[in-house]
Homo-oligomer: A and B are copies of this chain.
Amino acid sequence: MVLFSSLTPVFVAVLCAVVVFIHKSFQKKDRDSKTGSKSTAESRPWVDEDLKDDTEINSKDEGDWADSEEDVPHVPYAPERYPADVQLQRSREFHTLMNNRRSVRFISPEPVPREVIDNVIRTAGTSPSGAHTEPWTFVVVADIEMKHRIREIVEEEEEINYRQRMGDKWVSDLRKMRTSWVKEYLDIAPYLILIFKKTYGMHASGKKKTHYYNEISVSIACGILLAALQNVGLVTVTSTPLNCGPPLRLLLRRPANEKLLMLLPVGYPAKDAVVPNLTRKSLDDIMVFV
Protein backbone atom coordinates (compact mmCIF):
# COMPACT_ATOMS: atom_id res chain seq x y z
CA MET A 1 0.00 0.00 0.00
CA VAL A 2 2.91 2.32 0.75
CA LEU A 3 4.53 1.45 -2.55
CA PHE A 4 1.21 1.96 -4.30
CA SER A 5 0.68 5.30 -2.59
CA SER A 6 4.09 6.58 -3.53
CA LEU A 7 3.42 5.58 -7.14
CA THR A 8 0.08 7.36 -7.21
CA PRO A 9 1.24 10.65 -8.76
CA VAL A 10 2.93 8.68 -11.54
CA PHE A 11 -0.23 6.61 -12.00
CA VAL A 12 -2.42 9.69 -12.24
CA ALA A 13 -0.04 11.34 -14.67
CA VAL A 14 0.00 8.23 -16.89
CA LEU A 15 -3.77 7.96 -16.77
CA CYS A 16 -4.14 11.62 -17.68
CA ALA A 17 -1.79 11.12 -20.61
CA VAL A 18 -3.88 8.15 -21.73
CA VAL A 19 -7.08 10.19 -21.46
CA VAL A 20 -5.59 13.03 -23.50
CA PHE A 21 -4.19 10.62 -26.09
CA ILE A 22 -7.48 8.78 -26.55
CA HIS A 23 -9.35 12.06 -26.76
CA LYS A 24 -6.96 13.44 -29.39
CA SER A 25 -6.89 10.29 -31.46
CA PHE A 26 -10.67 10.08 -31.58
CA GLN A 27 -10.88 13.74 -32.47
CA LYS A 28 -8.55 13.00 -35.34
CA LYS A 29 -10.49 9.92 -36.38
CA ASP A 30 -13.70 11.92 -36.26
CA ARG A 31 -12.19 14.66 -38.38
CA ASP A 32 -10.78 12.14 -40.83
CA SER A 33 -14.09 10.37 -41.23
CA LYS A 34 -15.62 13.72 -42.18
CA THR A 35 -13.01 14.76 -44.72
CA GLY A 36 -12.13 11.29 -45.99
CA SER A 37 -9.10 9.76 -44.33
CA LYS A 38 -5.99 9.82 -46.39
CA SER A 39 -4.23 7.22 -44.31
CA THR A 40 -7.12 4.76 -44.67
CA ALA A 41 -7.23 5.37 -48.40
CA GLU A 42 -3.55 4.57 -48.63
CA SER A 43 -3.84 1.37 -46.66
CA ARG A 44 -6.69 -0.06 -48.77
CA PRO A 45 -5.88 1.57 -52.08
CA TRP A 46 -8.51 0.69 -54.63
CA VAL A 47 -11.39 -0.30 -52.35
CA ASP A 48 -11.53 3.06 -50.61
CA GLU A 49 -10.82 4.96 -53.76
CA ASP A 50 -13.76 3.35 -55.46
CA LEU A 51 -16.22 3.83 -52.64
CA LYS A 52 -15.23 7.37 -51.81
CA ASP A 53 -18.00 9.87 -52.21
CA ASP A 54 -16.86 12.49 -54.62
CA THR A 55 -20.10 14.31 -55.27
CA GLU A 56 -19.88 16.39 -52.11
CA ILE A 57 -19.38 20.04 -52.84
CA ASN A 58 -18.18 22.68 -50.42
CA SER A 59 -19.17 26.31 -50.46
CA LYS A 60 -16.09 27.42 -52.37
CA ASP A 61 -16.80 25.21 -55.35
CA GLU A 62 -18.08 26.54 -58.60
CA GLY A 63 -21.82 26.57 -59.09
CA ASP A 64 -21.52 27.67 -62.65
CA TRP A 65 -20.00 24.89 -64.68
CA ALA A 66 -18.03 27.04 -67.04
CA ASP A 67 -16.33 29.59 -64.82
CA SER A 68 -12.99 28.21 -65.95
CA GLU A 69 -13.86 29.38 -69.45
CA GLU A 70 -13.52 33.04 -68.46
CA ASP A 71 -10.16 33.50 -70.12
CA VAL A 72 -11.02 31.69 -73.36
CA PRO A 73 -11.82 33.94 -76.36
CA HIS A 74 -15.52 34.05 -77.21
CA VAL A 75 -17.11 33.53 -80.61
CA PRO A 76 -20.60 34.29 -81.93
CA TYR A 77 -23.15 31.51 -81.55
CA ALA A 78 -26.19 31.29 -83.83
CA PRO A 79 -27.76 27.84 -83.92
CA GLU A 80 -30.55 26.84 -86.28
CA ARG A 81 -33.86 28.61 -85.70
CA TYR A 82 -36.95 26.58 -86.63
CA PRO A 83 -40.27 28.14 -87.74
CA ALA A 84 -42.92 27.84 -85.00
CA ASP A 85 -44.83 24.96 -86.62
CA VAL A 86 -41.64 23.02 -87.34
CA GLN A 87 -40.43 23.57 -83.79
CA LEU A 88 -43.69 22.26 -82.33
CA GLN A 89 -43.65 19.27 -84.66
CA ARG A 90 -40.05 18.47 -83.73
CA SER A 91 -40.90 18.63 -80.02
CA ARG A 92 -43.75 16.14 -80.54
CA GLU A 93 -41.74 13.76 -82.70
CA PHE A 94 -38.80 13.65 -80.33
CA HIS A 95 -41.15 12.97 -77.44
CA THR A 96 -42.76 10.11 -79.36
CA LEU A 97 -39.34 8.67 -80.21
CA MET A 98 -38.09 8.83 -76.63
CA ASN A 99 -41.39 7.68 -75.16
CA ASN A 100 -40.95 4.45 -77.15
CA ARG A 101 -37.69 3.77 -75.34
CA ARG A 102 -37.81 0.97 -72.79
CA SER A 103 -35.21 -0.85 -70.72
CA VAL A 104 -34.74 -4.15 -72.55
CA ARG A 105 -33.07 -7.28 -71.15
CA PHE A 106 -33.65 -9.44 -74.23
CA ILE A 107 -30.98 -8.44 -76.69
CA SER A 108 -30.32 -10.01 -80.08
CA PRO A 109 -26.81 -11.32 -80.88
CA GLU A 110 -27.04 -9.74 -84.35
CA PRO A 111 -24.02 -7.57 -85.15
CA VAL A 112 -24.38 -3.78 -85.03
CA PRO A 113 -22.28 -1.60 -87.38
CA ARG A 114 -19.23 -0.30 -85.57
CA GLU A 115 -19.63 3.16 -87.10
CA VAL A 116 -23.05 3.50 -85.48
CA ILE A 117 -21.52 2.72 -82.08
CA ASP A 118 -18.75 5.26 -82.73
CA ASN A 119 -21.36 7.89 -83.52
CA VAL A 120 -23.48 7.29 -80.42
CA ILE A 121 -20.34 7.55 -78.24
CA ARG A 122 -19.32 10.72 -80.08
CA THR A 123 -22.80 12.08 -79.38
CA ALA A 124 -22.54 11.28 -75.65
CA GLY A 125 -19.24 13.15 -75.69
CA THR A 126 -21.03 16.40 -76.62
CA SER A 127 -22.48 16.61 -73.10
CA PRO A 128 -21.77 19.59 -70.88
CA SER A 129 -19.53 18.95 -67.87
CA GLY A 130 -18.34 20.84 -64.80
CA ALA A 131 -15.65 23.30 -65.94
CA HIS A 132 -15.56 21.46 -69.32
CA THR A 133 -13.53 18.59 -67.83
CA GLU A 134 -15.33 15.96 -70.01
CA PRO A 135 -14.75 13.45 -67.18
CA TRP A 136 -15.85 10.30 -69.01
CA THR A 137 -14.41 7.16 -70.57
CA PHE A 138 -16.64 4.84 -72.57
CA VAL A 139 -15.21 1.33 -72.68
CA VAL A 140 -16.90 -0.57 -75.51
CA VAL A 141 -16.44 -4.33 -75.16
CA ALA A 142 -17.05 -6.52 -78.20
CA ASP A 143 -14.54 -9.27 -77.35
CA ILE A 144 -16.43 -12.50 -76.55
CA GLU A 145 -14.09 -13.68 -73.80
CA MET A 146 -13.97 -10.29 -72.12
CA LYS A 147 -17.77 -10.05 -72.17
CA HIS A 148 -17.94 -13.44 -70.46
CA ARG A 149 -15.49 -12.44 -67.75
CA ILE A 150 -17.53 -9.30 -67.12
CA ARG A 151 -20.65 -11.47 -66.85
CA GLU A 152 -18.94 -13.72 -64.29
CA ILE A 153 -17.98 -10.77 -62.11
CA VAL A 154 -21.42 -9.17 -62.30
CA GLU A 155 -23.32 -12.42 -61.64
CA GLU A 156 -21.13 -13.38 -58.71
CA GLU A 157 -21.80 -10.03 -57.05
CA GLU A 158 -25.51 -10.18 -57.89
CA GLU A 159 -25.82 -13.63 -56.36
CA ILE A 160 -24.22 -12.39 -53.13
CA ASN A 161 -26.63 -9.46 -53.07
CA TYR A 162 -29.69 -11.64 -53.62
CA ARG A 163 -28.65 -14.25 -51.05
CA GLN A 164 -28.08 -11.54 -48.46
CA ARG A 165 -31.36 -9.88 -49.25
CA MET A 166 -33.38 -13.07 -49.19
CA GLY A 167 -31.78 -14.62 -46.11
CA ASP A 168 -33.48 -17.90 -45.09
CA LYS A 169 -36.35 -17.35 -47.47
CA TRP A 170 -33.85 -17.66 -50.25
CA VAL A 171 -33.71 -21.41 -50.80
CA SER A 172 -37.43 -21.78 -51.41
CA ASP A 173 -37.48 -18.81 -53.75
CA LEU A 174 -34.46 -20.02 -55.63
CA ARG A 175 -36.17 -20.56 -58.92
CA LYS A 176 -37.88 -17.22 -59.02
CA MET A 177 -34.83 -15.30 -57.91
CA ARG A 178 -32.42 -17.05 -60.20
CA THR A 179 -33.80 -15.16 -63.17
CA SER A 180 -32.81 -11.97 -61.40
CA TRP A 181 -29.12 -12.47 -61.12
CA VAL A 182 -28.45 -14.46 -64.27
CA LYS A 183 -27.52 -11.87 -66.89
CA GLU A 184 -27.39 -13.76 -70.17
CA TYR A 185 -27.48 -10.52 -72.09
CA LEU A 186 -23.92 -9.78 -70.94
CA ASP A 187 -22.76 -12.67 -73.18
CA ILE A 188 -25.29 -12.15 -75.94
CA ALA A 189 -25.31 -8.40 -76.57
CA PRO A 190 -22.86 -7.51 -79.36
CA TYR A 191 -21.50 -4.62 -77.28
CA LEU A 192 -21.19 -3.81 -73.60
CA ILE A 193 -20.62 -0.13 -72.91
CA LEU A 194 -19.01 0.47 -69.52
CA ILE A 195 -19.16 4.11 -68.53
CA PHE A 196 -16.43 5.34 -66.21
CA LYS A 197 -16.40 8.68 -64.42
CA LYS A 198 -13.00 10.33 -64.02
CA THR A 199 -13.06 11.51 -60.44
CA TYR A 200 -9.94 13.62 -60.80
CA GLY A 201 -7.43 14.71 -63.40
CA MET A 202 -3.84 15.87 -63.22
CA HIS A 203 -2.46 19.39 -63.34
CA ALA A 204 0.70 19.92 -65.40
CA SER A 205 2.49 20.05 -62.04
CA GLY A 206 1.41 16.49 -61.28
CA LYS A 207 -1.04 17.66 -58.59
CA LYS A 208 -4.51 16.09 -58.49
CA LYS A 209 -7.25 18.26 -59.97
CA THR A 210 -10.66 17.45 -58.54
CA HIS A 211 -13.42 17.02 -61.11
CA TYR A 212 -16.38 18.55 -59.32
CA TYR A 213 -19.78 17.25 -60.33
CA ASN A 214 -18.16 14.38 -62.24
CA GLU A 215 -20.97 11.95 -61.39
CA ILE A 216 -23.68 14.39 -62.47
CA SER A 217 -21.74 15.22 -65.65
CA VAL A 218 -21.27 11.58 -66.63
CA SER A 219 -24.91 10.76 -65.83
CA ILE A 220 -26.01 13.58 -68.13
CA ALA A 221 -23.75 12.12 -70.82
CA CYS A 222 -25.43 8.78 -70.21
CA GLY A 223 -28.84 10.40 -70.79
CA ILE A 224 -27.62 11.75 -74.13
CA LEU A 225 -26.18 8.31 -74.95
CA LEU A 226 -29.57 6.70 -74.26
CA ALA A 227 -31.20 9.23 -76.60
CA ALA A 228 -28.61 8.48 -79.29
CA LEU A 229 -29.15 4.71 -78.97
CA GLN A 230 -32.93 5.08 -79.17
CA ASN A 231 -32.52 7.31 -82.23
CA VAL A 232 -30.86 4.45 -84.16
CA GLY A 233 -33.19 1.65 -83.00
CA LEU A 234 -30.84 0.06 -80.50
CA VAL A 235 -31.85 -1.04 -77.00
CA THR A 236 -30.14 -1.28 -73.64
CA VAL A 237 -30.84 -1.59 -69.93
CA THR A 238 -29.36 0.96 -67.56
CA SER A 239 -27.52 -0.92 -64.83
CA THR A 240 -25.28 0.35 -62.04
CA PRO A 241 -23.21 -2.64 -60.86
CA LEU A 242 -21.61 -0.55 -58.15
CA ASN A 243 -20.04 -3.36 -56.16
CA CYS A 244 -18.42 -4.68 -59.32
CA GLY A 245 -16.66 -1.39 -60.00
CA PRO A 246 -13.23 -2.26 -58.60
CA PRO A 247 -12.87 -5.74 -60.20
CA LEU A 248 -14.23 -4.51 -63.54
CA ARG A 249 -11.89 -1.53 -63.46
CA LEU A 250 -8.94 -3.87 -62.91
CA LEU A 251 -10.16 -6.31 -65.58
CA LEU A 252 -10.40 -3.48 -68.11
CA ARG A 253 -7.12 -1.91 -66.89
CA ARG A 254 -8.59 1.51 -66.27
CA PRO A 255 -6.55 3.90 -64.13
CA ALA A 256 -7.29 4.56 -60.45
CA ASN A 257 -9.04 7.88 -61.10
CA GLU A 258 -11.76 6.15 -63.17
CA LYS A 259 -14.76 4.63 -61.36
CA LEU A 260 -17.43 2.53 -63.04
CA LEU A 261 -20.75 4.38 -63.07
CA MET A 262 -22.89 2.36 -65.47
CA LEU A 263 -22.90 -0.75 -67.61
CA LEU A 264 -25.07 -0.79 -70.72
CA PRO A 265 -25.48 -3.94 -72.86
CA VAL A 266 -26.29 -2.68 -76.37
CA GLY A 267 -27.84 -4.29 -79.42
CA TYR A 268 -31.06 -4.81 -81.35
CA PRO A 269 -33.96 -6.16 -79.31
CA ALA A 270 -34.43 -9.95 -79.49
CA LYS A 271 -37.37 -11.11 -81.64
CA ASP A 272 -39.21 -12.34 -78.54
CA ALA A 273 -38.27 -9.38 -76.33
CA VAL A 274 -40.75 -8.49 -73.61
CA VAL A 275 -40.85 -5.57 -71.20
CA PRO A 276 -42.81 -5.06 -67.98
CA ASN A 277 -46.15 -3.42 -68.67
CA LEU A 278 -45.34 -0.17 -66.86
CA THR A 279 -46.73 3.29 -67.39
CA ARG A 280 -45.08 6.66 -66.89
CA LYS A 281 -46.22 9.53 -64.71
CA SER A 282 -48.32 12.15 -66.48
CA LEU A 283 -47.01 15.67 -67.16
CA ASP A 284 -49.01 17.01 -64.20
CA ASP A 285 -47.22 14.59 -61.90
CA ILE A 286 -43.72 15.68 -62.90
CA MET A 287 -44.11 19.36 -63.83
CA VAL A 288 -45.03 22.35 -61.66
CA PHE A 289 -45.68 25.60 -63.51
CA VAL A 290 -45.07 28.88 -61.69
Contacts and interface: CB of A to CB of B under 8 A. Distances in A.
Interface of A: 1, 4-5, 8, 11-12, 15-16, 18-19, 22-23, 26-27, 29-30, 33-34, 53, 55-57, 59-67, 69-70, 72-82, 84, 87-88, 90-92, 94-95, 98-104, 106, 113, 115-116, 118-128, 130, 132, 134, 136-143, 146, 154, 157-158, 160-161, 164-165, 176, 180, 213, 215-216, 219-228, 231-233, 235, 237-244, 252, 254, 261-262, 268-269, 272-278, 280-281, 283, 286-290
A46 B140 CA distance: 42
B118 A287 contact: yes
A126 B101 CA distance: 8
A242 B63 contact: yes
A286 B125 contact: yes
A240 B140 contact: no
A83 to B, nearest CB: 10
Given A26-B30, A79-B233, A276-B66, A283 B118 contact: yes
6 contacts: A60-B161, A63-B243, A87-B116, A137-B286, A219-B220, A219-B222
Given A130-B240, A138-B287, A219-B220, 18 more contacts: A22-B22, A59-B160, A59-B164, A60-B164, A64-B237, A70-B176, A72-B276, A75-B275, A77-B269, A91-B115, A91-B123, A94-B232, A125-B281, A215-B216, A219-B219, A220-B222, A223-B223, A223-B227
A64 B286 contact: no
Contacts of A273: 76-78
B81 A268 contact: yes
The 3 A-B residue pairs with the shortest CB-CB distance in the complex, in nearest-first order: A223-B223, A26-B26, A219-B219
A69, A143, A160, A290 pick with most chain B CB within 10 angstroms: A290
A90, A157, A287 pick with most chain B CB within 10 angstroms: A287
- In the assembly, how many copies of this chain are there? 2
A173 to B, nearest CB: 11
B119 A91 contact: yes
B63 A80 contact: no
Contacts of A213: 240
B81 A233 contact: yes
A122 B137 contact: no
B142 A290 contact: yes
B232 A87 contact: yes
B77 A94 contact: no
Contact of A276 (B61, B73, B122, B137): B73
Contacts of A94: 119, 123, 227-228, 231-232
Contacts of A30: 26, 29-30, 33
